[in-house]
Amino acid sequence: MPEQNRQPRDLESRAKVERPTKWTPPELLPVPNPEPGYEFRWIRVSTLGVADPINFSSKRREGWEPVKASEHPEIQLMDIGEKTRFPDSIEIGGLILCKTPTEFVHQRNSHYQQQTDSQMSSVDNNFMRENDPRMPLFRERRSEVKFRG
């Protein structure tokens, strides 16, 4: 009988395919790989197939620029036959992926925070103007603990 080249069983191994430990629902909108110095956002370009140029143009004036699909190959899109107005961009369900410098986002947030603070101050001043010490609108609620000694 010819000699066979056999290895002991413990040296043989089978590649194990591990299953995911937990099911997670698919993301409706994929998240692009982060780029230093940029923020990403999905911006509406249409609703129920009707174009919304006013929203998209206002966001463009704020500094949001469409992201090219070639820059983010990690976002895989299925060609579902829809004709898009932005052929090299990433558009899903009437939303287009855009990016802007992080400093623009901080400046925008600061602007709206100042508007909010100003409005709250105005409301507080108007409300407190009608306050009368004989019948206060606010009453401080404090509890006191007294010890007998």
Are the C-beta atoms of 32 and 92 separated by less than 8 Å? no
Fill in the DSSP letter of residue 104.
Answer: H
pLDDT tens digits, one per residue of 115-147: 998 888 888 787 777 777 776 666 666 677 778
pLDDT tens digits, one per residue of 19-69: 667 877 777 788 888 889 999 999 998 888 888 888 989 999 888 999 988
In degrees, rounded to 5, the angle at the alpha carbon of residue 148 between the alpha carbons of residues 142 and 149 is 135
pLDDT of residue 83: 63
- The structure tokens listed for 61 are 């004036």
Q: Which of 37, 18, 31 is nearest to 92 (CA)?
A: 31
Cα separation of 100 and 74, whole Å? 19
pTM: 0.59
- The structure tokens listed for 35 are 């780029």
